[in-house]
């Protein structure tokens, strides 16, 4: 069972946006998807409550902030949204569950260096446990110097940049209705779906 963890110890970088859209992608492929949320803000949990009945089903994985347990067997794919400040035993317990970890990262020098120790730890875990780790640039134009700096920084850690997601209102408008890019007509979100191609290929690998 693929278990994808979306993590970054810094807040406000887009973890819930990534988590819900990864879950939406899996659901669009016909998988039985569960979305868990151990963030006290419960952004992904709220999003699930907004999700319309007509949309492809995504189940709630009821999981405690302080108790990390294996997901129910009825799911085929699991996505876990994590809180800012994730570290210590909770971080290690989450990594024990994960097959893949996605780290959303904004291309500012402050965000990059605030996440440095976390990425170093992930890189070590990745080598030891054969964990797949990928970076997604959030709110970034891939043609900019900032994107180049992000790739240069992450490349030094040996971690792949899976894609760059632009700053767009599409994510905000869809989230307000409990939806993802993968729930609407492709023509409405064509540019965004193109940016997800590398992420989706990595998720399916």
Exposure on the CB side of residue 10, measured as CA atoms within 13 A: 19
Q: What is the pLDDT of residues 7-33, one digit of tens each?
A: 998 888 999 999 999 999 999 999 999
Contact 183, 23 (CB under 8 A): no
**Domain ranges (residues) in the chain:** 3-204
- Position 127 scores a pLDDT of 64
Q: What is the pTM of this model?
A: 0.91
Q: Does CATH place domain 3-204 in 3.40.30.10?
A: no
As a whole number, mean pLDDT of residues 152-167 equals 84
């Amino acid at each position: 069972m693929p278990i994808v963890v979306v993590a970054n110890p810094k807040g406000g970088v887009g973890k819930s946006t990534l988590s819900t859209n990864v879950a939406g992608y899996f659901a669009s492929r016909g998988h039985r998807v569960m979305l868990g949320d151990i963030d006290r803000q419960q952004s992904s949990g709220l999003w699930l409550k907004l999700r319309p009945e007509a949309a492809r089903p995504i189940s709630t994985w009821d999981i405690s902030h302080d108790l990390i347990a294996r997901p129910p067997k009825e799911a085929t794919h699991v996505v876990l949204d994590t809180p800012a400040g994730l570290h210590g035993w909770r971080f290690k317990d989450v990594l024990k569950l994960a097959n893949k970890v996605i780290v959303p990262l904004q291309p500012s020098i402050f965000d990059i260096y605030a996440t440095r120790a976390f990425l170093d730890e992930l890189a070590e875990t990745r080598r030891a446990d054969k964990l797949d780790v990928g970076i997604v640039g959030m709110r970034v134009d891939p043609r900019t110097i900032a994107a180049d700096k992000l790739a240069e920084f992450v490349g030094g850690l040996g971690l792949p940049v899976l894609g760059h997601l632009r700053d767009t209102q599409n994510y905000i408008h869809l989230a307000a209705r409990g939806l993802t890019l993968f729930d609407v007509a492709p023509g409405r979100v064509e540019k965004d779906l193109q940016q997800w191609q590398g992420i989706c290929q990595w998720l399916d690998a």
